[in-house]
Amino acid sequence: MNTQQAASAAQKFIDSALEWLGEFLPHLIGAIFIIIIGMWLAGVVANFVSKTMKGAKVSAEVVTFVHSFVKIGLRIIVIIAAVAKLGFNIASLVTALGAATVAIGLALQDTLKNVASGMMVLVNKPFKVGDYISVSGFEGTVTKIDISSTHLLTIDNKEVIIPNSNITVNNITNYSSQESRLIDLRYNVAYGSDMEKVRSVLNKIISENDKIKETPKKPFVAIGEHCDSSVKIVVRVCVDTADYWPVYYYMQEEVLKRFAQNGIEIPFAQVDVHTK
């Protein structure tokens, strides 16, 4: 190939490249325009949905999830539109995307199960952030509800992260869902104790604590059971949920102190052996 032929071939290549670039450049500019405007609109729509839901007093957890879901979904549509603008076969792309989705779904089925369970938790609201609950063998205050897991802070300051799929298939005890709680207490006194005196001491302890309520249930003191070595006294008092533990510990300490002051015996478990 001589110099003239080489120059001619190079010129043809440059002409072809310029022709291709002239045809492709408008599509590329259009695709970039679609991505820039589309991503902006996706954010605007997602924020509008969030504000609307907040105005309707939807819980923060649901708002966060829906905001992310709407934003990601719209961005996927924008990317597909941009790819179509570049001239790619959308049908083939969607088919490949579908096959990839199935494969990913099989690989991440446990994660997807947690996500689906998270949606149920957010919609059904068996508890909210700040509630004290018991679930899956753990007890603590809910600090965070993710789409895939729920975070608890235990009384000894440990963080427990529970997959949401475990929560939806187990029983949940929510100690914070009601405004008031009943404290159910048991005290043992010796046989032969003056039961009226026992009742009077317990009622005095109860009356001295202003956190103990008269409604929805009045304080209750009664003989509950005749045990082998003692008589069991049942005490039930109603308090605001936030006051449960302070009143519980108050009762335990005061009962021990007042029984000692009033000569009321709290017996140990014992067995009497008689010999001939």
* CA neighbor of 48 nearest in space, from 122, 61, 40: 40
**Is 105's pLDDT higher than 60?**
no
Lowest pLDDT segment from 65-69, 106-110, 140-144, 184-188: 106-110
Contact between 129 and 144 (Cβ < 8 Å): yes
pLDDT at 254: 95
Which band of pLDDT confidence, cut at 50, 70 and 90, is reported for residue 121?
A: confident
Which band of pLDDT confidence, cut at 50, 70 and 90, is reported for residue 145?
A: confident
pLDDT at 77: 82
By the 10 Å C-beta count (0-12 exposed, 13-18 middle, 19+ buried), 116 is classed as middle
Q: Which residue has the higher pLDDT, 55 or 247?
A: 247
Where in the chain do CATH 2.30.30.60 domains reside? Answer: 126-174
**Is 24's pLDDT higher than 90?**
no
Half-sphere exposure of 162 (CA within 13 A, CB side): 31
Integer Cα distance of 171 and 137 in angstroms: 10
- Look-up of token digits 């966060």: 64
* Sign of the torsion angle spanned by Cα atoms 36, 38, 39, 43: positive
Question: Directed axis angle between helix 3-55 and helix 60-85, to 10°?
Answer: 160
Where in the chain do CATH 3.30.70.100 domains reside? Answer: 180-261
Q: Which residue has the higher pLDDT, 18 or 154?
A: 154
**Is 83's pLDDT higher than 90?**
no
CA dihedral 167, 168, 172, 174 (to 10 degrees): 90
Contact between 41 and 74 (Cβ < 8 Å): yes
pLDDT at 13: 62
Mean pLDDT (whole number) for 123-152: 86
Q: Could you report how far apart the first and last alpha carbons of the chain are, in Å?
A: 131
Q: pLDDT tens for residues 155-203? A: 899 999 998 888 888 889 999 888 899 999 999 999 989 999 999 999 9
Strand 132-135 with 180-189, pairing = unpaired
CATH of 3-107, one of 3.40.50.10490, 1.10.3720.10, 1.10.287.1260, 3.40.50.2030: 1.10.287.1260
pLDDT at 268: 78
Q: pLDDT tens for residues 70-80? A: 888 888 888 87
Mean pLDDT (whole number) for 94-102: 64
Residues sharing a CB contact under 8 Å with residue 131, sequence separation 6 or more, in sequence order: 141, 142, 174, 175, 176, 177
The domain made up of 180-261 is a member of CATH 3.20.20.120 = no
Stated length of the chain: 276
Mean pLDDT (whole number) for 256-264: 93
Where in the chain do CATH 1.10.287.1260 domains reside? Answer: 3-107
Strand 231-240 with 220-226, pairing = antiparallel
What tokens does 182 get? 């009943």
Task: Report the chain's mean pLDDT, rounded to a whole number.
Answer: 82
CATH of 126-174, one of 3.30.460.80, 2.60.120.560, 1.10.150.20, 2.30.30.60: 2.30.30.60
